Amino acid sequence: METVRTISETKAILEKIKADGKTIGFVPTMGALHAGHISLQECSYKENDFTVCSIFVNPIQFNNAEDLEKYPRTEERDIEMLEKAGCHLVFIPSVNEMYGEKEETVYDFGHLDKILEGEFRPGHFNGVAIVVKKLFDIVTPHRAYFGEKDYQQLAIVKQLVRMHDIPVEIVPCPTMRELSGLAMSSRNERLSLEEKEIATVLYRTLKQTAEKASELAPKECENWAIQQINAAPGMSVEYFSIVDAETMLPVKKWHEGQQVIACVAAFIVGVRLIDNMMIFS
C-alpha cells in the first residue's frame, strides 16, 4: 500500500492505473477508523481493481470548533488497518494541500441541507459537498462507498453527483453496529464502556419505533421515542424524525409502498451521536 500526501502525486499514480484499464474504488474518511470504515474498503476491494482511501479531517464541515478539536486522530493505527484490509493507496492531505485558498463555494441543495442535520449544523453539508467534490476531482473514481449511518449525507452526495454530472457510481453500504447494537462511529471513542451501554437506547428505540408504527401515527411514534431516549441517564435528544427516505421530508401519515426512515441525533456527555433505521421499505 502506498501512502501519499499531495494531490499531484495522487493524480499521477491514478492516471497510470486508469491508463491500464483498471477500475478505481474510493472510500473517503476522516480517520479514526473502525470496522464500519473497513467494511466500505472491503466492498470496494471486491468490486474494483484498485482501492483508494482518503483520511482528512475536513475543518469546514464542523460548525463547532470544540468538536473539531476533539475529533479523534489516529493516523498510524488507521494506516495499519487499511493495509491489513488490502487498500492500495491512502491519500492523507494537509488542510493547506486541500484548501490552498479561501473556499467560498456555496451549494444550493434546496430543502435537503436545511432539515434534520442541516437545521442543527448550519453549513455542515456545504462543507461536506466541497470536500467530496474536491476528492472526486482528485481521485476520479469509478465507484465511491458511503455508509448508510450518515443517511442524509448520502442523499447530499447523490445530489452533488447529479448536479455536476460526475461520472461516479455512489454505493451505499449498511450501517455496521457493535454487538450491543450501537452504530459504529469514530465519536464512540470518546465514550466510556458505561456510556456506550447507555447509548444503545438509540438502537433499541429505533427498533421499537418500527414495531409501534403498526399502531401509532408517525408523530406519536416520534414523541414516544423522544421520551424513551431522554429517560436514559445523560441522554438528550436533539431530534427524532420520521421522514420519507427519498425526500427526507416529514411523514405525517403512513402510506402503503412509501419508504420511510426514522432518523435520530442525541447527546451523551457532550458527544453527539446519530443513527437511523428504515420503518417501511
Residues tagged active-site: 37
Helix pair angle (151-164, 124-139), 10° resolution: 60
CA distance 74 to 83: 14
Strands (E), the chain: 2-4, 24-29, 50-55, 89-91, 143-147, 169-173, 235-244, 260-268, 271-280
- Cβ count within 10 A of residue 65: 9
| Grid cell in block for residue 142 | 469509478
Kindly give, in sequence order, each residue whose CB lies less than 8 Å from that of residue 214, ignoring residues fewer than 6 positions away.
none
Q: 214-246 as b/e, with b when 16 or more CB fall inside 10 Å?
A: eeeebeebbeebbebbeebeebebbbbbbbebe
CA distance 120 to 240: 12
Task: Give me the residues paired with residue 277 across strands.
Answer: 262
- Cβ count within 10 A of residue 15: 11
CB 147 within 8 A of CB 176: yes
CA distance 48 to 106: 32
Task: Give me the residues paired with residue 272 across strands.
Answer: 267
- Provide the CA 227 distance to its chain's centre, in angstroms: 26
